[in-house]
Chains A and B, each alone.
Chain A
């Protein structure tokens, strides 16, 4: 008989039909039965380029369309894992605002850009390069960092044209670290903190878990360290994610990390925790010494003991002096202590801080030991942009790679533009540099600027021609980096998916430009295409006789023993076999690190770390913060992990995440201490204007007990002018308020600490 369900369906159905009958009829006839599509799936390798880590990717393709990006479990950098940016990189491939093809500036056309062909653009650039290369120093390259062959080829192009203007858009802290390394060790290279073996970690305003560079190596070794039960102290004006994960948070004033480090060093020396044998054997300039002319020179030891007593440091940094003593004792008595200085230094940063933290590590003997600071081993071939033939020695290269602000100053100061041709690759200096407007003016003054951004970002907007580079999913891609243990890793993978726009591999473009720019430059580029460059590198890997293709994690001591005894079980015997293995597994690595190679770590003079350079005749007060007027707050700008990508790309998934501390996204947040909020009459969610003499920035208030009362913390990564619908006009850019390098300052300040006024917007 009729049960409840059929009866109601009948009544309901009857009524709906009577109502929808006519409507239903006409809708039906237009629809076609759907086609039968078979579904074929396959996986392909790739290498992520959204940050210098260069993680190995596995891309799942359904009917040729990439659908999922996961981690390559064989790759030593990420071991199958993927940070927020890696997983979101798929959205750049499908970005609706990608440039369809190369465009050149043309005032006649609305919007100012007219499409152009690749051939015409390359010939134009090649002819200009040939004309310009006659006199040295007329070409500049601004690139993300030299960690993949394309950037190195661009660097080589500039070197071939006789110019040293190869600007890496590295964070100020990285540039300062290069300078410290050059002065104390006399070498260039990459310092790696072996966190996983440290048992007490002291973070000095490091932003370890918020730093946007080589995310994967830091996060994974940090997790291993915490699982091994290490004690972690974070000293910094803001709690943040790093402080949240710490056992102890010491709120110190911004830009006092260096003073705090030397305060700790003072206690280590005074209470005998300093590693005496290490200092005796491998360090010079620590004790007082007399030079051969009999002149008495005070060593760093006496300078630290004299100047950085805990009481004085406590008064400068705002921490309690008994806390400093307790942390110093904990740090000194550890088996494998390690200190990490600022990794970004977007705000209030000076080279002194990097130097002071390095000195602390030297005093604690944490250089080139397990759980200490390691100088990563290099891949067995020179960088492409190194001058041909000579060993990469410091003497012939500039003391440190120039910063983009220096380039902009130089271009704007000289009467006629000193640079005629500028390449911008995987970088967005107009957005990421605090002097963005100055950089934009400089680029406008340069007659011809080539940008390789796939999306029309802030820098591309001021370029003369934009040649959209194909993304790593669409081309053969590579990356030359180091992993958390200092092992060199070279990754390379064939194209995973078909290109979605008329874009080309920028390496091929550079080679084509070099070929067309006259034989003086062409003979520096003995390769026909990017594939040949890869083959050449693989040939060098084979000839080096070290390392192996990527494999599952295994004890590195075993490989050291084998290699020492000259025995290698390698999975390839010819270049073709190695290439096939690399293509299948995703790359090559050399899982061995030899401690005690002082000749490699300190190539200068008597292979002893020279602390003499540290000797700043400066008082602690001069390097600590200047007291701001009481109604102003110190502006502390920090990078948000999800919002800072290499090349300034903005993706909806990343904008959607925002900060893990607040459930807000698509907006720039300013953290304020509860007492300060009450004092200024602000509440959670209010919109405020942050002002100083350089401009004003809007932000939303977040009241947080995790920040000092005299500091306001604003994350960078928002406020782009161009960059597609997921970037334009979203959030605001606090970097605009930050002052940059004051030339000729002994402290070599790279970012001046600024004080800001807060105004509530109704």
Chain B
């Protein structure tokens, strides 16, 4: 953080230029209620499916013996994976002081907070006795990887919620002063923010501390989610690569989700001025790096298994490559590597539309990746019992749909209550960005030579003819 930050003057006409950011909050538009209606229908379908499952029992899903885990656990890993979009990207970009982060940090952080809820709730949906879920807290056993999950995810949730809330306070203060409705809410949430230099200094320090803490927590969350699988003796689960592999997968699917979210709010709220082509271009490059990294980890895992050729592992291996789960495996491979690589590696296709298309494929690909990790191993147990056959039922698909709709609904509601792009950071950027960038550039460039020329004859041969060196 630059230390000699000048106190920011109180913005005189804050909404003049940035009216577009606040418009969604203060003005209602007809399409909003239509979207909410559709989402509520999706949620209702998911809810009825879940209530039917609670009343009848988990038998209404496609799971059986030995396929004890199915779509719910896949959803759990998938949604926790997406949650890494927010904190990791916005935290890293803030840490690196990349100026282009200003417009996208909040939309990333909102994804994190909203989607963790669905990660955890999918575990509850998977429980045979949801009414006893509180036992995990009251009689929790720390030796169990599920308890590690509970701890790290709860810390991650609280930490990222605060990390979302702190940068929000100045904007809430703006809304408290300017908005025409819900002033009482903004007055409470603004916690008495006046924009005094002391408050800004405290805010910057708070964000600075959180930014540093949230990165290891985020990494720990998905490592621990992978430990749920890695700690068992099941073939192709019990591997050391699972930790980093899941973290890479998480960041990968996180960025994809972020790009999709940004594209939607850009289109819906006409924020072309703020979420510009350059943002999508930079995120596209980040996505390209992650695609290659993901390919590297997948290649490493499957090569070691294939080369080691343990019969138990190879049964699962062949069931993925040429067996019953080959379609899902190769679809995952195309969606996660082939298509994104082709789109993102060429400049002219790494446009807004290009990155969004790549991201959609990556999101689908990453859901399939979790499917290909969980289901083949579970349906090919070590002992030659009958192989399990898993055919997900409407209950599981509708709960997945319900979760998606609920997540989008929460996201849309957030955009109606708070500005999706951080107004004060944009304004701060306008004022200080150019100056800070030049200072920083000067800090990077090599220092000018010292004031006098070197003394000749001190053992340094005189340069030959002046032109020789040019």
Residues of A bordering B, CB below 8 Å: 4-5, 8-9, 12, 662-663
Contacts and interface: CB of A to CB of B under 8 A. Distances in A.
A177 B386 CA distance: 40
A4 B151 CA distance: 14
A4 B137 CA distance: 9
B134 A12 contact: yes
A9 B138 CA distance: 7
B462 interface: no
13 contacts: A4-B137, A5-B138, A8-B134, A8-B137, A8-B138, A9-B134, A9-B138, A12-B134, A12-B137, A12-B138, A662-B386, A663-B385, A663-B386
A322 B134 CA distance: 71
Interface string B380-404: 0000011000000000000000000
A512 B258 CA distance: 89
Interface in B217-268: none
Contacts of A9: 134, 138
A4 to B, nearest CB: 8
A3 to B, nearest CB: 11
Contacts of B134: 8-9, 12
Contacts of A663: 385-386
A12 B137 CA distance: 10
A101 B138 CA distance: 55
Interface in B110-145: 134, 137-138
Nearest to B389: A685
A259 B238 CA distance: 56
List 9 tightest A-B contacts by C-beta distance, closest first.
A663-B386, A12-B134, A8-B137, A5-B138, A8-B138, A9-B138, A663-B385, A8-B134, A9-B134
Contacts of B138: 5, 8-9, 12
Interface string B417-459: 0000000000000000000000000000000000000000000
A188 B386 CA distance: 47
Interface string B279-322: 00000000000000000000000000000000000000000000
A663 B388 CA distance: 11
B334 to A, nearest CB: 27
A9 B385 CA distance: 42
What's the dominant secondary structure at chain B's contact region?
Answer: loop
Interface residues of B, number: 5
A12 B138 CA distance: 10
Contacts of B386: 662-663
A662 B387 CA distance: 12
Contacts of A8: 134, 137-138
B211 to A, nearest CB: 29
B147 to A, nearest CB: 13
Contacts of A4: 137
Contacts of B385: 663
A619 to B, nearest CB: 46
A5 B140 CA distance: 10
Nearest to B65: A663
A4 B147 CA distance: 15
A663 B386 CA distance: 7
A4 B150 CA distance: 15
A5 B134 CA distance: 10
Contacts of A5: 138
A751 to B, nearest CB: 32
Nearest to A663: B386
B65 to A, nearest CB: 9
A12 B385 CA distance: 42
A4 B138 CA distance: 8
A216 B304 CA distance: 52
A131 to B, nearest CB: 58
B64 to A, nearest CB: 11
Given A662-B386, A663-B385, 11 more contacts: A4-B137, A5-B138, A8-B134, A8-B137, A8-B138, A9-B134, A9-B138, A12-B134, A12-B137, A12-B138, A663-B386
A430 B386 CA distance: 35
A4 B134 CA distance: 12
Contacts of B137: 4, 8, 12
Nearest to A12: B134
Nearest to A9: B138
A9 B140 CA distance: 13
A662 B385 CA distance: 9
Contacts of A662: 386
A231 to B, nearest CB: 28
A705 to B, nearest CB: 13
A24 to B, nearest CB: 14
A143 to B, nearest CB: 40
B256 to A, nearest CB: 36
Nearest to B387: A684
Contacts of A12: 134, 137-138
A9 B139 CA distance: 11
A662 B134 CA distance: 40
Nearest to B386: A663
A9 B134 CA distance: 8
B361 to A, nearest CB: 33
A97 to B, nearest CB: 25
A51 B137 CA distance: 55
A9 B135 CA distance: 10
A635 B134 CA distance: 58
Interface in B354-395: 385-386
A662 B137 CA distance: 42
A300 to B, nearest CB: 48
Nearest to B131: A16
A68 B134 CA distance: 38
A731 to B, nearest CB: 18
Nearest to B139: A5
A617 to B, nearest CB: 51
A5 B136 CA distance: 11
A704 to B, nearest CB: 13
Nearest to A13: B134
A5 B386 CA distance: 43
A484 B137 CA distance: 61
A8 B140 CA distance: 12
B82 to A, nearest CB: 28
Nearest to B385: A663
A7 to B, nearest CB: 10
A8 B138 CA distance: 7
A662 B138 CA distance: 43
A707 B142 CA distance: 52
A7 B385 CA distance: 46
A434 to B, nearest CB: 32
Nearest to B138: A5
Nearest to A8: B137
A667 to B, nearest CB: 13
A760 B386 CA distance: 22
A8 B134 CA distance: 8
A441 B138 CA distance: 69
A757 B137 CA distance: 62
A34 B134 CA distance: 29
B365 to A, nearest CB: 30
A5 B137 CA distance: 8
A674 to B, nearest CB: 15
A5 B138 CA distance: 5
Interface in B128-170: 134, 137-138
